């Protein structure tokens, strides 16, 4: 699997909402994720998108190891684990919530039922 710097930066721009990243200017690949406005949730969403669209799996426990887009890109292009595509037997689900909304709802303290 070969992912170009431009493709990675487009994914990061889309998921972070920082569309300045789409230009992939010199030095952006070496900048820290925090400096680019990319948080840990965006990295999780990026891993999900890579697995879904590019059949590359990066385990969640490895995500904190990456400090820059260049490090992530190197991992994708050298050791990205291909994920076999499985045909789905279920019809596509229509989801109107973003991943971040679902995560926030899940981690919100649960109300006691009486």
10-residue stretch averages of pLDDT, the chain, 114 residues long = 86 86 76 90 92 88 92 86 52 54 56 49
pLDDT score, position 43: 93
pLDDT score, position 54: 86
Could you write out the DSSP letters of every residue in 40-109?
Answer: HHHHHHHHHHHHHHH-EE--GGGGGG--SHHHHHHHHHHH-EEPPP---SSPPPP--S-HHHHHHHHHSP
Does this model's pTM top 0.75? My answer is no
């Amino acid at each position: 699997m070969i992912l170009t710097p431009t493709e990675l930066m487009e994914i990061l721009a889309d998921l972070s909402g920082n569309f300045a990243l789409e230009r992939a200017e010199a030095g952006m690949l070496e900048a820290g994720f925090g400096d680019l406005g990319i948080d840990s949730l965006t990295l999780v969403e990026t891993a999900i998108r890579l697995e879904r669209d590019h059949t590359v799996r990066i385990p969640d426990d490895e995500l904190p190891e990456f400090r820059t887009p260049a490090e992530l890109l190197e991992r994708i292009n050298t050791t990205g684990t291909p994920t076999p595509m499985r045909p789905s037997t279920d019809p596509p689900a229509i989801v109107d919530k973003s991943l971040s909304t679902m995560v926030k709802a899940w981690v919100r303290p649960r109300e006691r039922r009486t």
